[in-house]
A and B are shown apart, each in its own frame.
Chain A
Amino acid sequence: MKTITVNIVTPDGPVYDSEVSMLIAVTATGEMGVMPGHVPTVAPLGIGAVRLKKDNSTEIIAVNGGFLEIRPEKATILAQSAERATDIDLARAQEAAKRAEALLQAKNADTDFKRAELALKRAMNRINVYEGNS
């Protein structure tokens, strides 16, 4: 079976490097599936889970923004942060989600709603990936 090399790189170092048969990511325009031999593409990513299919198993990685660069035999995800399900600090993510929710609900005029919303999104994404459903 043909495979494609997937690299996930963050400023703090590489997170993932392996051969997979299919990669599914959430881009700015919607979900996108990438298989070997894809036409060279660059697409920005949203906050979401990246699913990597390999033989019969699927690995899920939480990716916060960044973008996806695809070449026929290689795909690279460049994100400011990315975590494998096993590396996620669940307690911290739940804490962050609570904090962001409280901020959003308090409806203070001086809160940065967009940022709080993004923080909530990131935290929820981490929790989802940790629990194994994307």
Chain B
Amino acid sequence: MASLRDIKNRITSTKKTSQITRAMQMVSASKLNRAEMNAKAFVPYVEKVQDVVASIASGSNDASHPMMITRPVKKTAYLVITSDRGLVGGYNSNILRTVMTKIRERHTSNDEFVILSVGRKGKDFFTKQGMNILESATALPDHPSFADIKEIARKAVGMFSDGTYDEVYMYYNHFVSAIQQEVTEKKLLPLTNVEATGSTASYEFDPSAEAILEVLLPQYAESLIFGALLDGKASEHAASMTAMKSATDNATELIDGLTLSYNRARQAAITQEITEIVGGAAAQE
């Protein structure tokens, strides 16, 4: 049996750990609130852009744009959104596992696809796998603004336009609720099925529908990436909160068990002491 002092040390250190995890849980909870608000603020923007894209695409004019045309696929890009740090439960591993399964299904060699990675965890993982990472963005703030992601979004869309790859899939954790996140796969480019969320009107185009698409489609694709990132961030904070909550619960359980054995050991020591005294007194007589 471990000595009294050993047990006591373990209790103290477990208590300290649980204080930290509890604090982290609360921090994540408040970050989650902000992240949810950010995601909500973004909704009107993306809906509006989508409406306009849909009304142009479904309009009678035969306006077309390279970004809307499906071409034979020689190279695929995977845009994977992960977190920068750990301690988020299964958040990163779920995404990475899904991506790996899909890649193995679709491709036989590493030359057939490239990775665009957001978040350090994804970058580290794909580097270790020896895969071709074309672009990566790390150290994003907890509440990213559009300017933070603009660079990689612009490049992701640009490289599709200049033919570096012919389709783009996006992977991120969709925020369902504070305890549930879903790995989501979304085909980002080419933009083939854009559906209107509200009523569509028939517009005049100034100067022309093509010129509008020229501005609109990259903006739309970039905003989809940003939307996924916001969604992913909300999921990250939720996952981190859940992970920290279960860590705290586990620590509490551990402390209970340790306290019990501490008391047992203490009692055993007392009993032993009494026995020794009684034995000593008996020997005196």
Contact = CB atoms under 8 A, between A and B. Distances in A.
B219 A66 contact: yes
Contact of B44 (A14, A43, A66): A14
A70 to B, nearest CB: 8
A69 B52 contact: yes
A102 interface: no
Contacts of A67: 52, 212, 215-216, 219
B275 to A, nearest CB: 74
Interface residues of A: mostly helix, strand, loop or mixed? strand
Interface stretch (A48-56, A74-82, A83-91): A74-82
B226 interface: yes
Contacts of B42: 11-13
Contact of A11 (B146, B204, B206): B146
A65 B201 CA distance: 23
Interface string B203-233: 1111100011011100100110010000000
Q: In this complex, which of A7, A32, A42, A71 has the most chain B Cβ atoms within 10 angstroms of its Cβ? A: A42
A61 to B, nearest CB: 16
Given A11-B42, A67-B212, A78 B219 contact: yes
Nearest to B199: A71
Contacts of B219: 65-67, 78, 80
Contact of A28 (B146, B202, B207): B207
Nearest to A29: B207
A40 interface: yes
Contact of A65 (B203, B215, B226): B215
B45 A44 contact: no
B52 A41 contact: no
Interface residues of B, number: 30
A125 interface: no
Contact of B203 (A13, A29, A40, A81): A40
A28 B226 contact: no
Interface in A4-54: 7, 9-14, 27-29, 32, 39-44
Interface string B9-29: 000000000000000000000
Given A12-B41, A14-B44, A40 B211 contact: no
B180 interface: no
Given A43-B206, A67-B215, A9 B150 contact: no
B206 A42 contact: yes
B48 interface: yes
Contacts of A12: 38, 41-42, 145-146
Interface of A: 7, 9-14, 27-29, 32, 39-44, 65-67, 69, 71, 76, 78, 80-81
Given A44-B215, A81-B146, 16 more contacts: A7-B44, A9-B48, A10-B146, A11-B145, A11-B226, A14-B41, A14-B44, A32-B206, A40-B202, A42-B52, A42-B212, A42-B216, A44-B211, A67-B219, A69-B52, A80-B222
10 contacts: A9-B44, A11-B223, A12-B38, A12-B41, A12-B42, A14-B44, A27-B206, A40-B203, A44-B212, A76-B48
The 8 A-B residue pairs whose C-beta atoms are closest, nearest first, are A13-B41, A11-B146, A44-B215, A43-B206, A41-B204, A9-B45, A40-B203, A42-B203
